[in-house]
Amino acid sequence: MTEIDAKTDALVPSWLTLPDIAEMLGVEVTRVRQLVKEGQLIAVRRGENRALQVPAAFIDGENAKVIKGLSGTLTLLRDDGFSDEEMLEWLFTPDPTLPGTPAQALSENRGTEVKRRAQALAV
């Protein structure tokens, strides 16, 4: 879990607390913490009380699950040596070739393109 800088905070349009995510997914908060610990979600400390929060774009509220392709993309970026903050910055920075941000592309089920770009970063 990392502190977050204003630049990254400005890139991410909205955030959810771990209890919010647990409610959306229909699981216990401990399960959400486990997803963070396993690297399937990125959580950062934000706000006045420094509560752990996750970008809302990572949760598919309609289907009550973590967006498809996120876990694999995070693994690729981590393997490339990205910190949590660098991963968030990459995922939420607009890419004109996608178009949109990698996070948007994942939520629109265009994970293959996102993973291809993440793999290219390792070269």
Element (H, E) at 20: helix 18-25
Per residue in 13-46, pLDDT tens? 999 999 999 999 999 999 999 999 999 999 999 8
Asked if residue 95 has pLDDT above 60, the reply is yes
**Cβ neighbours of residue 105 closer than 8 Å, sequence gap 6 or more:** 95, 98, 111, 113, 114
Scan for tokens 């949590």, then name that residue: 84
Per residue in 54-69, pLDDT tens? 999 999 988 889 999 9
Helices (H), 38-100: 70-79, 84-92
**Cβ neighbours of residue 80 closer than 8 Å, sequence gap 6 or more:** 118, 121, 122
Q: Where are the beta strands (DSSP E) in 6-57?
A: 15-17, 44-46, 51-55
Domain spans of the chain, in order of start = 2-121
Please state, as a whole number, how many other Cβ atoms lie within 10 Å of the Cβ of residue 87. 21
